[in-house]
A and B are shown apart, each in its own frame.
Chain A
Amino acid sequence: MDRAELALFDRTLRGATEAHSGAALDAALVELGWHEALVDDRPAAVSLLFEHQGRTAVTSGALDDVVARALGTDTACAVVLPALGRAEPPAHEDSGGVIVDGLGTPRLLRTDTALVAVRRDGDGDGDGDEGEAVAVVKTADLACRPVRGMDPDLGLVEVTGAPTAAAVTPIDPDRWDGAVTGARLALGHELVGASAAMLELARVHALNRIQFGRPISAFQAVRHRLADSLVALESAHALLEAAWLDGSSETAAMAKALAGRSARMVAGHCQQVLAGMGFTTEHPLHRYVRRVLVLDELFGSARSLTDALGRDVLSRRRLPPPLPL
Chain B
Amino acid sequence: MELDAFGPALDRWLDEHAAALAPDRATETLDQHMAQLAKVKRLTYDAGFMRWGWPERVGGLGGSTILRAYLGEALAGRDLVEPGIYSMTETLAPTMIDHARPALAADMVPRLLRGEETWCQGFSEPGTGSNLAALACRAIRGDEGWRVTGEKVWTSLAQYAQRCVLLTRTGAPDSAHGGITALFVDMDSPGITVRPIETMHGAPEFCEVFFDDVDVPFGRTLGQEGQGWSVAMDLLPFERSTALWTKAAYLRRRLQDLVEVAPADALDPAALGAAVQLLAAFRARSRATQYRLATGEHLGPETSIDKVLVASAEQAVYDLVEAGLAPEVLLGDDAGPSRWRSEYLFSRAATIYGGTAEIQRNIIARRLLDLGADR
Residues from chain A with a CB closer than 8 A to the CB of B175 are none
A174 at interface, CB cutoff 8 A: no
**Any A CB within 8 A of the CB of B241:** no
Chain B contact-residue range equals: 35 or more
Query: B residues within 8 A CB of A223?
Result: 361-362, 365-366, 369, 371, 374
Give bound CA distance, A319 to B320, whole Å: 14
Main secondary structure of the interface of A (DSSP, over half): helix
Number of A-B contacts (CB under 8 A): 148
Q: Does A197 contact B (CB under 8 A)?
A: no
Q: A217 at the A/B interface (Cβ < 8 Å)?
A: yes
Q: How far in angstroms is the closest Cβ of chain A from B330?
A: 22
B167 CB-CB contact with A under 8 Å: no
Q: Which residue of A lies closest to B365 (CB)?
A: A223
Q: Once bound together, how far apart are the Cα atoms of A226 and B362, in whole Å?
A: 10
Question: If the complex has contacts A217-B371, A220-B362, A313-B276, are A231 and B308 also in contact, measured as CB distance less than 8 A?
Answer: yes
- Please pick, from B66, B282, B361, B369, the residue contacting A235 in the complex, using a CB distance under 8 A: B282
Interface residues of B in 272-292 (CB under 8 A from A): 272-274, 276-278, 280-285, 287-288, 290
The one of B276, B287, B374 that contacts A310, using a Cβ cutoff of 8 Å = B276
Contact B259 A317 (CB under 8 A): yes
Q: Which residues of A contact B358 (CB under 8 A)?
A: 220, 224
Query: Given A228-B361, A230-B364, A251-B280, A314–B267 Cβ distance below 8 Å?
Result: yes
B260 within 8 A of A: yes
Determine whether the beta carbon of A311 is less than 8 Å from that of B372: no
Q: Which of A51-59, A96-104, A236-244 is found at the contact surface with chain B?
A: A236-244
Interface size on A, residues (CB 8 A): 45
Which residues of B, 284-341, contact A by the 8 Å Cβ criterion? 284-285, 287-288, 290, 305, 308-309
Residues of A contacting B282 in the complex (Cβ-Cβ under 8 angstroms): 235
Q: Contacts A234-B305, A314-B264, A317-B260 known; A220 to B280 CB distance under 8 Å?
A: no
B195 CB to nearest chain A CB (Å): 34
Q: Give A220 to B277 CA distance when docked, in angstroms.
A: 28
Chain-B contact segment, one of A81-89, A121-129, A281-289, A300-308: A300-308
Chain B residues whose CB sits within 8 angstroms of the CB of A224 once the complex forms: 358, 361, 365
- B373 part of interface (Cβ distance < 8 Å): yes
Is A227 in contact with chain B by the CB < 8 A criterion?
A: yes
Residue of A nearest to B245 (CB): A325
**A311 to B259 CA separation, bound complex (whole angstroms):** 11
A238 contacts which of B3, B270, B285, B360 (Cβ < 8 Å)? Answer: B285
B364–A241 contact, CB under 8 A? no
B239 lies within 8 A of chain A by Cβ: no
Contact A320 B280 (CB under 8 A): yes
User: In the complex, which residue of chain B has the Cβ closest to the Cβ of A219?
Assistant: B374
Chain B residues near A63 (CB-CB < 8 A): none
- Complex: chain A residue closest to B272, CB-CB: A310
Is B374 in contact with A220, judged by CB distance below 8 angstroms? yes
Q: Which residue of B lies closest to A240 (CB)?
A: B284
Residue B8 at the chain A interface, CB threshold 8 Å? no
Question: Residue B205 at the A interface, CB < 8 A?
Answer: no
What 9 A-B pairs are tightest by C-beta distance, nearest first? A310-B269, A310-B273, A242-B284, A309-B273, A223-B365, A310-B272, A306-B273, A238-B285, A227-B361
Interface residues of A (CB under 8 A from B): 199, 203, 206-207, 215, 217-220, 223-224, 226-228, 230-231, 234-236, 238-239, 241-242, 251, 254, 257-258, 261, 303, 305-311, 313-314, 317-320, 322-323, 325
Binding site for A on B (CB under 8 A): 3, 7, 66, 69-70, 73, 249, 252, 255-256, 259-260, 264, 267-274, 276-278, 280-285, 287-288, 290, 305, 308-309, 358, 360-362, 364-366, 368-375
What are some 7 contacts across the A-B interface (CB < 8 A)?
A238-B285, A254-B276, A257-B273, A306-B274, A307-B273, A310-B271, A319-B252
